[in-house]
Amino acid sequence: MVGSLAVGWQFLRRWPVIPGIVIFVLLFSAIFAPWIKPYEPLVSHGVFTQGPAWTAEGSTEFILGTDEIGRDILSRMIEASRITVIVVLLSVVVGTVTGTILGLLAGYYGGSAIDEFIMRIVDVWAALPQLLILLTIALVFGAGIGVLVTSLALISWPGAVRLVRVEALKLRSQDYVDSARISGASNRRILYKHIFPGVINTVLVATTLSTGSLILTEATLSFLGAGIPPPSPSLGGMISSGRDYLRDAPHIASFPGLALAAIVMAGNFLGDWMRDRFDPKLRQIN
């Protein structure tokens, strides 16, 4: 019995089983939300602040209860996961592509005016109060999914630039890159054919590590009313609407809060695992 528990514990430590399950549930809910949600997330059922099914005042009709307007919380959480995945994926793609291109250019032309220009932009942007900037953008252009995707993309690219630049600086001095340069290959071809494949692992790890923080940022903006506009559901918006009912109906805010915490932690653990998995130095340590 003890041996089986030890084997199981080692398996859980070696492979991100629990974070993988959380991310799978998130993606499954996002993809199949129209078919698995019990009710329409915007429809009120006239039963206000009803508790979860396992409480005295709850019923199996609404498993996680209803909110202050009578809407099914489970249905709203499923719909919120779909919106969150769409927004974050679009932001990650735009930010990662932009950061990767700038990081490749900065690393390949390291020490030149191009490198200095790109890295000074990164330094200036990193020094600015980003949350305040995102709130200002939402105030000027209005809350909406398009504005939110743009805002999240703006904060996702600097980290990728720094990581990709470091790898590109290492790869540009390799023998196979020098051979390609001597053979007459253009800078564009060297970047695309010889350096970019060497930084893919870094890009993948950077993308995974930034996903959790982007989800948390999206929830923060929605909590403050600058993210996904109501009545469209979002985890941050549901937490915000339920904060006035924490004493009498804590389930309105607690279930979205627990879901948000699980998603962010799963994303961070998965990113750490991928970093350890793809970094040769860390693999030697383990």
Over the range 22-58, which residues count as b (16 or more CB within 10 Å of their CB) and which as e?
bbeebeebbeebeeebebebeeeeeeebbbbeeeeeb
Structural contact between residues 177 and 190, judged by C-beta atoms closer than 8 angstroms: yes
269 phi and psi, to 5 degrees?
Answer: -65, -40
Per-residue pLDDT of the chain (286 residues; tens, 9 = 90+): 555 666 666 766 677 788 888 889 988 988 898 899 999 999 888 888 888 988 888 888 999 999 989 999 999 999 999 988 898 889 988 888 999 999 999 988 888 888 899 999 988 888 888 888 888 888 888 878 888 888 888 888 888 888 888 888 888 888 888 888 888 888 888 888 888 888 888 888 778 878 888 888 899 888 888 888 888 889 999 999 888 888 888 999 999 999 999 999 888 888 778 777 766 554 444 4
Residue 285 has a pLDDT of 43
- pLDDT 10s digits, 227-257: 888 888 899 999 998 888 888 889 999 999 9
DSSP secondary structure letter of residue 58 = -
Rounded to two decimals, the pTM is 0.85
Q: How far is the CA of 27 from the CAs of 78, 80, 240, in angstroms?
A: 10, 12, 24
Name the fold adopted by 17-39+51-285: MetI-like fold (1.10.3720)
Residue 150 has a pLDDT of 87
**Comparing C-alpha atoms, which of 236, 205, 270, 224 is closest to residue 83?**
236
Structural contact between residues 171 and 193, judged by C-beta atoms closer than 8 angstroms: no
Interatomic CA distance for residues 196 and 192, integer angstroms: 5
Q: Tokens 């000074």 identify what position?
A: 120
Q: Which residue ranges make up each domain of the chain?
A: 17-39+51-285
